[in-house]
Amino acid sequence: MKKQILVLCITTLMSGVSLAQGNGFYLGGNVGQTDFDECADGFSCDEKDTGWKLYGGYQLNQNIGIEAGYYNFGETTGKNRFGKYSVEAEGLGVALTGTLPLNNQFSLTSKIGAMRWDADGHYRGRFTSASDDETGTDLFYGVGAKFALAPNIDIVAEWERIDDVSDVDHVDFISAGVQLKF
């Protein structure tokens, strides 16, 4: 019993030291290109748009953190001789993040989490029009790189994918931005 209590105390102290080694809170913003993997049959489509996100997180230790953010994915459009449609999407995501420091300035990153998305679709044809608003929660994940420009400023580049947004198989988001550490 004494050994178990000792192991528990040592583990608790080590986790406290591990948490103390984290970088703490950060805020960031990215801008980039979204790519909607969706084009209705018989339509010519523009599946790419400008997207952006604002996010914040907490680095628990050197390798693990948590992050939450708002994503605006822009829209995808399509048209044919009978009409045109557009789908705009946005979401709120929460993820577990991983960081692999390669040296004092450069790190590789990854994330996996869940995103609550909202997609607004509109169709306007010669004789009809329709609108649809859908929401859902799906998996999202990504990889990236981070460069420490200064002790409290990082430049980031990321690729992220959110699966199954409305009728869209997935949305890819390639972005770059800045993180401010506190």
Domains of the chain: 23-181 (2.40.160.20)
Amino acid at 127: F
Residue appearing with tokens 């460069």? 147
Q: How large is the average pLDDT for residues 115-125? A: 90
Helix (H, G, I), strand (E, B) or coil at 55: strand
pLDDT in tens, 57-92: 999 999 999 999 999 999 988 888 888 888 899 999
- Contact criterion met (CB below 8 Å) for 96 and 111: yes
Residue 44: predicted pLDDT: 81
pLDDT band at 43, cuts 50/70/90? Answer: confident
Nearest C-alpha neighbor of 75 from the set 43, 49, 39: 49
Q: Report how far residue 72's alpha carbon sits from residue 64's, in angstroms, rounded to the nearest whole number.
A: 25
Helix (H, G, I), strand (E, B) or coil at 152: coil
